[in-house]
Amino acid sequence: MAQEQGEEAIVSSYNNGTEHESTMEEKEDHSSKFDVKNFLWHGGSVYDAWFSCASNQVAQVLLTLPYSFSQLGMLSGIIFQVFYGLIGSWTAYLISVLYLEYRSRKEKENVSFKNHVIQWFEVLEGLLGPYWKALGLAFNCTFLLFGSVIQLIGCASNIYYVNDHLDKRTWTYIFGACCATTVFIPSFHNYRIWSFLGLGMTTYTAWYMTIAALVHGQVEGVTHSAPSKLVLYFTGATNILYTFGGHAVTVEIMHAMWKPQKFKTIYLLATLYVFTLTLPSAATVYWAFGDELLNHSNAFALLPKNRFRDAAVVLMLIHQFITFGFACTPLYFVWEKVIGMHDTKSICLRALARLPVVIPIWFLAIIFPFFGPINSAVGALLVSFTVYIIPSLAHMLTYRTASARKNAAEKPPFFLPSWTAMYILNTFIVVWVFIVGFGFGGWASMTNFVKQVDTFGLFAKCYQCPKAPVAAPPLQPQHH
């Protein structure tokens, strides 16, 4: 019975604010009756998971990739995008395998996940013990915390280019209040319509950037001097590492699926689509503006102001609200489990319990409003471990014994059928990301981050805003 449950694992879905175990028959009966609320609200298909992964990968980072190209140069920028995109897809696959292994073992012990969302740190604890739980919890929560902070900073940075009557710090106050409303969205089941809309918004923005840069053409005297400094080079590289590190929420997205075993290739397919957005937009904007991007980490700052750009800004703002919810929802789950509110049926009561999670995010966005540099710092210090190193090490340790490999819930993929080959690839990822991503990237991004603090100061009122012209002093009347 447990084995059948493992193969037909259907994840609990929210119904009137609570999760209930469902069977495939119930799901089929449910889907046969068209219901607008369920169509928009309850999502657990492979398509929902694909939209969630693709939408979660590209948000405000789309606007900082031209800045990264100005630090790396065109060739390195393209190579790093493809490289980190592919190894990011591989580690997302490893996370999905470990989730299925954990779930399979627990279901053999007749453990029920009714009213419980499985999270990455619980997978690590179940497979490797309490120390790995602490490691996963620390890195994942810190990464998601700063990921949410980045969305708030991005909101304020973007809206400023449409309406500069208020400074960016004031806009951060406003959007912090708006994003706090995500506490009412129960789980990733309920992001169906938001994921769909979010990906449409970033698709428009990416192609707007590409076309606008081509129509604008190269600025007079454009220069493309990158790569020029090691600090800038590795800062740009870690920003791209961060771009394809959106799977701190992979387990939660899988858990929201009716058939989580179908997740294995979804992240790769999402990444391939994301390439069609990030590569053309970053390359064309860098081609058009060159080294000017070194002082403008948000591409909107250089693109000509018109209704198309304003539409892109508004769409990105809505998408950043969605991405804020994506990053915060796992934090909400962790907090609910800590205070014993995870099983509560009332949406309003859970929303109230979640509010303390939003407050520190809001505060940090006001302290460190450095759009661009903070992406690189988070990429080097947090994403490198959360997304690349920990999943690779966890996979190797989980299947280190012959019996574990023999009884594995998921065998090696068809394109890499040998366990030895998987170990070699995982070891390469751990070594590469630790040395290049965490080591050089950490040094470069923190050097750049400290420079921003020294230049603009903490609680900067308007980071990288154009300086207002200084009025000439009035002429003093001459006395004879």
Domain CATH for 233: 1.20.1740.10
Collapsing DSSP states into helix, strand and coil, what is residue 127? helix
Q: What is the pLDDT of residues 160-175, one digit of tens each?
A: 777 766 776 777 778 7
Question: Is the Cβ–Cβ distance between 423 and 216 less than 8 Å?
Answer: no
Question: Is the Cβ–Cβ distance between 199 and 53 less than 8 Å?
Answer: no
Collapsing DSSP states into helix, strand and coil, what is residue 13? strand
Total count of domains within the chain: 1
Please indicate, yes or no, if residue 461 is contained in any of the structural domains. no
* Identity of the amino acid at 312: A
pLDDT tens for each residue of the chain, 480 residues long? 443 344 333 333 333 333 333 333 334 344 444 455 555 555 678 888 888 888 888 777 788 899 999 999 999 999 999 999 999 999 999 999 999 999 888 888 887 777 777 888 889 999 999 999 999 888 888 888 888 887 787 777 777 777 766 776 777 778 777 777 877 777 666 667 778 888 899 999 999 999 999 999 998 888 888 788 888 898 888 888 888 876 667 888 888 788 888 888 888 999 999 999 999 999 999 999 998 988 888 888 888 888 998 899 888 888 887 888 877 888 888 888 888 777 777 778 888 888 888 888 877 877 766 655 676 777 788 888 988 999 999 999 999 999 989 988 888 888 888 899 999 999 999 999 999 989 998 898 888 778 766 665 555 555 556 554 444 455 455 554
Token pair for residue 219? Answer: 């600025």
- E-assigned strands of 297-365? none
Please indicate, yes or no, if residue 22 is contained in any of the structural domains. no
Collapsing DSSP states into helix, strand and coil, what is residue 119? coil
Model-level pTM?
A: 0.80
Please indicate, yes or no, if residue 280 is contained in any of the structural domains. yes
Please indicate, yes or no, if residue 83 is contained in any of the structural domains. yes
Instruction: Give strand pairing partners of 19.
Output: 14
Q: How many whole angstroms separate alpha carbon 258 and alpha carbon 264?
A: 14
Please indicate, yes or no, if residue 34 is contained in any of the structural domains. no
Angle at 327 between CA 323 and CA 171, to 5 degrees: 55
- Nearest residue to 57 via CA among 96, 94, 84, 75: 84
Helices (H), 109-129: 120-128
Q: How many whole angstroms separate alpha carbon 158 and alpha carbon 168?
A: 9
- Pairing between strand 18-20 and 13-15? antiparallel
Specify the DSSP element, H or E, that contains 205: helix 192-216
Please indicate, yes or no, if residue 204 is contained in any of the structural domains. yes
Please indicate, yes or no, if residue 343 is contained in any of the structural domains. yes
Angle at 383 between CA 382 and CA 386, to 5 degrees: 85
Q: What is the dihedral angle through the alpha carbons of 430, 435, 437, 442, rounded to the nearest 10 degrees?
A: 130
Please indicate, yes or no, if residue 17 is contained in any of the structural domains. no
464 dihedral zone (left: phi>0; alpha: psi -120 to 50; beta): left
Instruction: Give strand pairing partners of 14.
Output: 19
Q: How many whole angstroms separate alpha carbon 297 and alpha carbon 286?
A: 12
CA distances from 460 to 8, 150, 154, 175, 456 (A): 52, 15, 14, 17, 6
Domain membership of residue 412 as a residue range? 44-456
- Nearest residue to 62 via CA among 323, 328, 384, 388: 323
